[in-house]
Structure 1
Amino acid sequence: MSASARVLLVEDDRQLSGMLAELLRTEGYSVDVAGDGQRGLHLGLTREYDVLVLDRGLPAVEGLDLLARLRAKGVPTPALVLSALSNPADRVEGLDAGAEDYLGKPFDVDELLARLRALRRRAGATPASALEIRLPGGTFDVSARRVDLSDGRSADLSEREASLLELLARRPNRVFSRQEVLDEVFPDAADEGVVDTYVYYVRRKLGRGAVVTVRGLGYRWGAL
């Protein structure tokens, strides 16, 4: 497991969340903790994580509602629900809400860690469907770096153009700051101006509406 793996832990029991956060950090995870569903939703929509660990009985936004909202916004991060509600019907409800795994409280620490490792392994095995992103007005073949538009046109992208498009298209409702794009797509560059340059390149090939400028915040996906 990579030391850079990031976990979002959403748990309102401060004692339990503190224990879990310390445990996960000892295992090499980078952990963000949210004490209620509203904060968890904000973090889940604005930051990238490798795995989510969610309680169900959360203040503000209930855990399964939080997960459903993340899935509705296109967040694919694998999720493990950790809840005292652990009879078969509860587990089925959690899995149907979009969770990849469900563990009842009280739980065995070693089992929890093993389940998180399994989620990370499954997430690392890229399914064929993840190599193609369907967009309004076209399809993006990630591996071939090619966009086929519904009007019959197509565009081949450079490696950096494709990386920028993938970042935006996989999270179409999220606004990425220039610094975030720089960190994700151009880690070897120091000047945020390179982001604006490649946004221009993508727009030139796919149309100005492909990338939307959100004034004062950054960029988000638009439409072909």
Structure 2
Amino acid sequence: MAEHPRILVVEDDRRLAGMLMDLLGGEGYAVVAAYDGQRALHEGLTGQFDLMLLDRGLPGLEGLDVLARLRRSGVATPALILSALGNPSDRVEGLDGGAEDYLSKPFDIDELLARLRVLLRRTGTALRTLHIRGGSFDVDGRTVDVSDGRRIVLSEREAGLLEHLARRPRQTFQRGDLLASVFQEADDEGVVDTYVHYLRKKLGRDVVQTVRGIGYRLGEPQ
């Protein structure tokens, strides 16, 4: 997990969103805000977050719809729903809809912070295992367990490239961006193509998708 965990705050009440940003920023978190469902979906698909605080009654797209679309797209960022809908049936619906926790408004600040800490501790290990086409990728072990039972070991550079793609499974990266983020010591974009070739040779051609004229993205899940 990053030294300063990144939290996406999805809340249409800008005053409450500002309070949450100040509170979480003061606790050492890096915070990004989204004020409607469409923006939340965009941030969730293209950004890299350790946790989401998600309101339900959002303009444009309801909070559970945002969460469902993120989950279908392979985004596993843990979500804590923070909502005025606090009946038991609402909480059950939120948890069944893919959230890891549910807290009703109005809420106690100390309880909110405690729940965030628990979620970050609980999911820290899980976030080190990423879903890719045809298997699961153990980031720390640099291994991929594929569906036929084999375990494939990656080199440090191969693993770095795969992790960068897998943490943003819906995003297309230009070769120059990948060079700057993964291969900082290199100065030739051809090294990106070389390591994409290595990953495909080990894991199958579809593990990394070429987006013509733009760059690369993670292959679509099976």
Q: TM-score, normalised by structure 2?
A: 0.83
1:163 aligns with 2:160: yes
Q: Which residue of 2 aligns with 1:98?
A: 98
- Asked whether the 8 Å contact 1:51–1:77 carries over to 2, the reply is yes
> Could you say what the CA RMSD is over the residues aligned between the two structures, in angstroms?
3.0
Written as runs of structure 1 = structure 2, the 5 A alignment for 1:77-156 is 77-126=77-126, 131=129, 133=131, 135-136=133-134, 139-140=135-136, 142=138, 143=141, 145-146=143-144, 148=146, 156=153
Deviation at 1:214, TM superposition (A): 1.7
Note the residue ranges of structure 2 that are not aligned, 5 or more in a row.
none
Deviation at 1:184, TM superposition (A): 5.5
- Write the letter of the residue equivalent to 2:143: R
Task: Give per-residue Cα distances to partners, 1:56-99, cap 9 Å, x unaligned.
Answer: 00000100110111111111111000000011111101000000
Written as runs of structure 1 = structure 2, the 5 A alignment for 1:10-29 is 10-29=10-29
The one of 191, 196, 201 equivalent to 2:198 is 201
- Write the letter of the residue equivalent to 1:189: E
Note the residue ranges of structure 1 that are not aligned, 5 or more in a row.
none
Distance 1:7 1:184, change over 3 A: farther
Distance 1:92 1:184, change over 3 A: farther
Number of residue pairs matched? 218
Q: TM-score, normalised by structure 1?
A: 0.82
Q: Which residue of 1 aligns with 2:219?
A: 222
CA distance in 2, matches of 1:37, 1:27: 26
- Asked whether the 8 Å contact 1:6–1:30 carries over to 2, the reply is yes
- Asked whether the 8 Å contact 1:73–1:171 carries over to 2, the reply is no
